[in-house]
Amino acid sequence: MDWGGPGFVITIIAVSYGAWLINNWIRAKHGYELEDEWGGKSTKKEDSAETKRLKAENRELNGKLDEMQDRMIVLEKIVTDRGYSLSEEIEALRDKPSTNRADSGVPLNLDKKEQA
């Protein structure tokens, strides 16, 4: 192997660059400051007040969206249920002719005593 050739020098540069990338990836994964190309440290920017407000609003809206999705699932179950015929029952009541409005409904028989 030729130790002074361009292939060896390029290999050393590639290995060094790869090690620097892996080092920064591990540091970023664990929350440490990152190094730049010249050995300096770059700190993580703190969130501004507007960013914090937007994140809180985003969490609130995601919560509302989850609640609405749950409600939508319940409504879909009600509407797609085969036993759901409320609109048909209402239409049947509308079509039914009623001669005396006072007689409509269920008789309560409040005046009569219950016979055992």
Sketch the domain layout of the chain as residue ranges: 1-44, 47-95
32 membership: H or E segment, kind and range: none
Cβ neighbour number for residue 27 with a 10 Å cutoff: 14
Cβ neighbour number for residue 72 with a 10 Å cutoff: 10
- CA angle in degrees (0–180, nearest 5) for 85-86-91: 100
CA 53 from chain center: how many Å? 18
Q: Is 35 exposed, middle or buried (0-12, 13-18, 19+ CB in 10 A)?
A: middle
Q: pTM to 2 decimals?
A: 0.35
Find all residues with CB under 8 Å of 96, minimum gap 6, and list them: none
Residue type, 87: S
pLDDT in tens, 54-111: 999 999 999 999 999 999 998 888 777 766 566 777 777 777 665 555 555 666 666 6
More confident residue, 52 or 85: 52
Residue 116 confidence (pLDDT):
46
pLDDT in tens, 16-50: 999 988 988 888 888 777 766 666 676 666 778 88
Please identify which residue in the block is written with the tokens 């507007």.
Answer: 50
Whether residue 15 is predicted with pLDDT greater than 90 in this model: the reply is yes
Q: Is 94 exposed, middle or buried (0-12, 13-18, 19+ CB in 10 A)?
A: exposed
